[in-house]
Structure 1
Amino acid sequence: MSELTLAKAKEILAKHTTEAHLFTHAAAVSAAMGAMADHFGADKEYWEAVGYLHDVDYEEFPDEHCHHVRELLAPEGVEEEVIQTIISHGWGITTDEKEPVTDIEKSLYTVDELTGIVQAYALMRPEKMDGMELESFKKKFKDKKFAAKCSRDTIKKGMEMLGMEPSEVMQCCIDGMQAHKEELGF
């Protein structure tokens, strides 16, 4: 059992982040990670906390993202396991330090980008997250011009690492974000 709670993750992130969109992204990834934890039968609050804290060094070090995680989190008493999990979401993107190997690492690697596409789709829909269907989302996912900054290659690589069908991962992400739609502003 980890010491990291969602409340502690929120407290730590607030020390290193000021931009509203980064808090929204943290909440989206946290929500998706909670749904992934449910899928794997894992500790939901722990996975949500890790998801919330995953971009702790992004605002301060955007060009060195994932390289300053340890220096920001170790003094807070955050366990090495959490630090390694967070660093792993930048594997092959911003760092080669830690390849995602556990379910939580692979999930974080995958849903980080995927939540951006779900969020972009929700923002263009009059009903936002309500009633978002997998089939209509998949059409947006296939459109590389839609939410173009979200790397489909990273998402697909993550899904392969997880050994899950893309539809399963997408549905987890949608379900998690729907369950937290008020917090996400939807």
Structure 2
Amino acid sequence: MPKTTLSARQGQTPSRRRWIKLGAWAAGATAAAGVAGTGVWMYQPGNDRQLVFATLEQAMQEVDRLSAAGARALEPATAWSWSQTLEHCAQSIEFSLRGFPAPKAALFQHTAGAAAFAAFAALGRMRHSLAEPIPGAPALAAAVPDASAALARLRQAVQDFVAHPGPLQPHFAYGPLGRTQYEQAHAMHLANHLSAFDVRPG
């Protein structure tokens, strides 16, 4: 197969370069479809508020707002209760500090997983099944009306992440991430789950 020369690449039109970029982005989006197991990249249930957070601080502001006002699930957006959702999000942050129990193979992380994160990061948000546990994670506790324990666990997990001085553990699907990337991953994960809740009507 003939090699593409530098002059040939330089001769590409803006339209051609745009299609190449779109093709690369689409490849990342396709890879993202396999990252969450049964969840798919384009999964978007009804009543999705489509929240976007750039930082954990922004995400926790919404967590506190929902907790204070009485969070309610927006069916059919999620099958998990508020307490279970908070626990699940806490697990993800905790595992980034001590290691995920069942990571995907390194080859997957460095190819499809990395491409998926790039696609999510380009969008500023992720989409995945909101009732899919982290592979190998302990089962979530039964749903309870009082989510104070789960909220305290999530707050502690965020504090531990912010204060963590050492390297972070590879994400089970995305693979190794820098601190800024990992915070974005956690913020997007929280945004996706919190989008399935809103405050109870007064």
Same fold (TM over 0.5): no
Larger relative contact order, structure 1 or 2 (CA cutoff 8 Å, min sep 6): 2
Greater per-residue helix proportion: 1
Q: Greater CA radius of gyration, 1 or 2?
A: 2
